[in-house]
């Protein structure tokens, strides 16, 4: 089993990426809103008052989405990464995203619905 993780830079592409992962056979995807340290530092160091005003005025947050899912094969991770690159282009380009896969020793609480993936 593996943990497939992606940090998506462009949140407007979230639905397309989720659809691509689903089409690649990944179920049970969890999504977190996240922010990288560079974005936090830029917001607070460059214009600390403006960051507060933008939040008060309802401006969208400047951040990422982090996706993760437990999967059963590296081939599934490769398929997911290829599907994402079809949407975003080469992930080595700036402001696209980052995908990694990590080995998982054990999983508790995996539903029967997603058990086919892990």
Give the chain's domain count.
1
pLDDT in tens, 22-53: 999 999 999 999 877 766 666 655 555 555 55
pLDDT in tens, 10-26: 999 999 999 999 999 99
pLDDT in tens, 51-104: 555 455 554 555 789 999 999 999 999 999 999 999 999 999 998 999 999 999
CATH of the domain at 18: 3.30.70.120
**To which H or E segment does residue 101 belong?**
strand 97-103
Beta-bridge partners for 65 = 8, 33
The CA distances from residue 5 to 29, 81, 101, in Å, are 10, 10, 6
Is residue 116 very low, low, confident or very high in pLDDT (cuts 50, 70, 90)? Answer: low
* pLDDT score at 60: 53
Range of the domain at 7: 2-117
Predicted model pTM: 0.77
């Amino acid at each position: 089993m593996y943990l497939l993780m992606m940090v998506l830079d462009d949140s407007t592409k979230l639905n397309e990426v989720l659809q691509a992962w689903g089409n690649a056979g990944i179920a049970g995807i969890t999504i977190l809103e996240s922010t990288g340290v560079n974005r936090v530092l830029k917001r607070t160091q460059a214009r600390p008052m403006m960051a507060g005003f933008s939040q008060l005025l309802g401006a969208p947050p400047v951040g990422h989405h982090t996706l993760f899912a437990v999967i059963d094969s590296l081939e599934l991770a490769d398929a997911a990464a290829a599907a994402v690159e079809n949407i975003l282009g080469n992930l080595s380009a700036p402001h696209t995203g980052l995908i990694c896969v990590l080995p998982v020793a054990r999983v508790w609480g995996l539903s029967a619905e997603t058990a086919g993936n892990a």
